[in-house]
């Protein structure tokens, strides 16, 4: 399999540059040591930073994004809470933006080769990790990026640039249950006992889980979508499931690449919906 596209961002650095980046992340770890802590779902501790909770593996990346990411007007940022449709919407966003390069029926479509989370990489989980500061200017425009970061913690360049932010909100109960099942799989991988549902529910209600609290996270983006509708789009996961064609058109229009009447007649939207369906995505990554 070919290398993940985003890996091109990690250009070779001089020894001095590598030491400087290590020093930057060391300062982030020092800041972490001063923050309030709670027991985590799958890590020993989570840290409260700017009103939200983070695992130690993610928080240095969040700080690095805030200090080093420079947004462009053409950027498209997909923001979600954990287990709120990140993979599905990453596939949809990629397929819509790149439909003139790759038809949905083409065997060589990147979604047949790469996980959508590789094609729309996360700031804190893939790009700004392991003491690395990537050169994102290498990526073609529009840059498609993802994050679980809350709106208030996004770097200031996002607000100043006017780049587009898409937020996906999901039914709270479904998001919680999906997160509980997912993190228990992670715990099992680390030879840990499953977290009891009752204990997980109590922690979720307190907001004490990675990128929580849930409603604070969602409300920030919802309010931003009311204040800056030209820059922030708030979508419900369930609405996309119920009426995919309607909301795919809405998504495409917001991203600046609406479907033409000819594309609608030719079934381009339906092809993208099939390409990004749960059945298609799950069959490729079994």
Catalytic residues, by residue number, are 148
Q: Are 92 and 276 in contact (CB under 8 A)?
A: yes
Q: What is the DSSP string of 35-54?
A: S-EEE-SSSSEEEEETTEEE
Q: Among the residues of 145-171, which ranges form H helices?
A: 156-161
Match 């993979």 to its residue by tokens.
87
Residue closest to 99 by CA, chosen among 244, 278, 238, 260: 260
- Residue 54 φ then ψ, to 5°: -140, 145
Q: Is 38 helix (H, G, I), strand (E, B) or coil?
A: strand
**The token pair that represents 196 in the structure block:** 């009891």
Cα first-last separation, the chain? 15
How many CA within 13 A on the CB side of residue 228? 16
**The token pair that represents 170 in the structure block:** 């999901």
How many CA within 13 A on the CB side of residue 81? 33
Distance (Å) of CA 215 to CA 150, 172, 211: 11, 9, 11
Distance (Å) of CA 281 to CA 8, 9, 89, 111, 115: 25, 26, 12, 8, 8
Q: Between vectors from CA 122 to CA 116 and to CA 123, what angle results, nearest 5°?
A: 160
Distance (Å) of CA 40 to CA 44, 125, 150, 175, 207: 5, 17, 18, 17, 11
């Amino acid at each position: 399999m070919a290398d993940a596209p985003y890996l091109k961002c990690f250009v070779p650095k001089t020894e001095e540059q590598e030491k400087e980046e290590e020093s930057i992340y060391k300062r982030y770890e020092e800041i972490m040591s001063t923050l309030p802590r709670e027991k985590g779902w799958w890590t020993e501790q989570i840290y409260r930073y700017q009103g939200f909770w983070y695992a130690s593996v993610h928080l240095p990346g969040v700080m690095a994004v805030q200090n080093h990411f420079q947004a462009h007007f053409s950027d498209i940022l997909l923001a979600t809470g954990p287990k709120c449709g990140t993979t599905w919407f990453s596939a949809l966003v990629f397929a819509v933006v790149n439909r003139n390069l790759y038809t949905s029926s083409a065997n060589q479509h990147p979604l047949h080769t790469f996980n959508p989370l590789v094609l729309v990489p996360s700031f804190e989980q893939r790009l700004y990790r392991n003491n690395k500061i990537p050169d994102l200017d290498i990526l073609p425009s529009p840059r498609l990026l993802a994050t679980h970061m809350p709106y208030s913690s996004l770097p200031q360049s996002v607000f100043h640039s006017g780049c587009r932010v898409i937020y996906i909100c999901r039914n709270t109960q479904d998001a919680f249950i999906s997160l509980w099942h997912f993190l228990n799989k992670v715990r099992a991988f680390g030879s840990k006992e499953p977290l009891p549902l009752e204990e997980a529910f109590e922690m979720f209600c307190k907001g004490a889980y990675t990128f929580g609290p849930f409603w604070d996270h969602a409300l920030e983006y919802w309010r931003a979508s009311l204040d800056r509708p030209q820059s922030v789009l708030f979508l419900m996961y369930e609405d996309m499931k119920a009426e995919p064609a309607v909301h795919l058109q809405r998504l495409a229009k917001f991203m600046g690449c609406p479907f033409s009447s000819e594309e609608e007649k030719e079934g381009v939207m339906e092809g993208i919906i099939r390409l990004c369906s749960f059945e298609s995505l799950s069959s490729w990554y079994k």
